[in-house]
Chain A
Amino acid sequence: GIQVEQSPPDLILQEGANSTLRCNFSDSVNNLQWFHQNPWGQLINLFYIPSGTKQNGRLSATTVATERYSLLYISSSQTTDSGVYFCAPTNDYKLSFGAGTTVTVRA
């Protein structure tokens, strides 16, 4: 399967700060999703982004498939952004997950 490395593993932010999460993957992909896992374990879809750049409110994501990485930007962070962020690329149908980045936003 595809090997996925996410960095940093942990991130502590003050409310209002901006941050960038990185996802490196080992193989070419035809799909990549970013998820936010809330404290109850629910995986919430953030982006479907096999390539290019997308924005959704304070979040945006960029995938450079030729260089095998994806970035998730969080701007003006809020306490509700806390949780674990996963990227999950695939080149067939099985999503491969990294270990995630745990984000803690302090008021």
Chain B
Amino acid sequence: DTGVSQDPRHKITKRGQNVTFRCDPISEHNRLYWYRQTLGQGPEFLTYFQNEAQLEKSRLLSDRFSAERPKGSFSTLEIQRTEQGDSAMYLCASNHQLTGPDTQYFGPGTRLTVL
């Protein structure tokens, strides 16, 4: 069983550019989560999908951020008009609603640097 994968692993961009990250969850996991981790802090919840439905968005997710999971499998997180404050590690996690235990498994993350 392969783990959660994320692409790219690193992204350097200039302020004002748009970026898109991809997350592939563990197969058959119907729940997918995005978290953001800044330097020296623990991860913070951004948003969550159950199948293709986005069920919650944190207030951290400004209108420049959008996430999709169109077929209930992989997910994308897009940041428009990036700002230096968006520099962080973006982590994806997955689990299944019904199969226990209720453990979230994390991918390796995408490290974003906005210059």
Q: How far is the CA of A82 from the CA of B36 in the complex (A)?
A: 22
Q: Judging by beta carbons under 8 Å apart, are B109 and A97 in contact?
A: no
Question: What is the interface residue range for chain B against chain A?
Answer: 20 to 34
Q: How many residues of A contact B (CB 8 A)?
A: 22
The reply on A43 being an interface residue by CB < 8 A is yes
Measured CB to CB, the nearest residue on chain A to B105 is: A45
Q: Judging by beta carbons under 8 Å apart, are B91 and A43 in contact?
A: yes
The reply on B85 being an interface residue by CB < 8 A is no
Chain A binding surface SS class: loop
Chain B residues in 8 Å Cβ range of A30: 102
What number of residue pairs across chains A and B have CB atoms under 8 A from each other? 53
Return 29 A-B CB contacts under 8 Å, by A number: A4-B42, A30-B102, A33-B104, A35-B106, A41-B37, A41-B108, A41-B109, A42-B108, A43-B43, A43-B91, A45-B103, A45-B106, A88-B42, A88-B43, A93-B31, A93-B33, A93-B48, A94-B56, A95-B35, A95-B43, A95-B45, A95-B104, A96-B45, A97-B42, A97-B43, A97-B44, A98-B42, A99-B41, A100-B42
Q: What is the interface of chain B, defined by CB distance below 8 A to chain A?
A: 31, 33, 35, 37, 40-45, 48, 56, 89, 91, 93, 101-106, 108-109, 111
